[in-house]
Amino acid sequence: MKTKYFVALCVGLLLIAGGVFFFLTRKPAQEEETPGIVEEQIPTQSPDVLGLSLEAKPDNTAVKFTISKADGIKSISYELNYTAKTDEGELIRTTTGSIDVKSTDKIVESNYIVLGTCSSGHCKYDKGVSDVKLIIKIIKQDGKIYQSSISLSL
């Protein structure tokens, strides 16, 4: 009877020793190198090259942009960022949009972009708007992509 326990104890110790040996001597799994997010670098064009301007309505409730040198532009997408004052402090707002450009257009002018929110024809304008920045991405007729930006202080 004692020999059965002795054999079982020896087998158990061998299994434990083998497991410890296996875990200590195995090679760590090689970490796969995951590629990070690759940010695409878009070439920039100065606002002067495009004839890019940004202007506000006299009451500072909306802005619009104009590109007076639109030759060769196929489409424009834009992002308008600005800071507005709220009861809790300052808030950064963002508005985005796009414009398809006709090949015959020499000048592109956006509609007025409201600095606030509109619903059912009623607009609530943001107060204390400052630091307006427009970033545009331009796709040319030849497929090349450029970006430009311009700022406006209100």
CATH superfamily ID and name for 47-152 = Interleukin-17 receptor A/B, fibronectin-III-like domain 2 (2.60.40.2150)
Q: Tens of pLDDT along 128-145? A: 998 999 999 999 999 999
pTM: 0.70
What are the residue ranges spanned by the domains of the chain?
Answer: 47-152
| Rounded CA separation 126/130 (Å) | 10
Q: Backbone phi, then psi, for 13, in 5-degree steps?
A: -65, -40
DSSP E strands in 12-126: the ranges are 52-56, 62-67, 73-86, 89-100, 108-109, 113-114, 116-119, 122-125
Tens-binned pLDDT, residue by residue, of the chain (154 aa): 667 666 666 666 666 766 666 666 666 555 455 555 555 688 999 999 999 999 999 999 999 999 999 999 999 999 999 999 988 889 999 999 999 999 888 999 999 999 999 888 899 999 999 899 999 999 999 999 999 999 999 8
Q: How many distinct helices (H) and strands (E) make up the chain? A: 2, 10
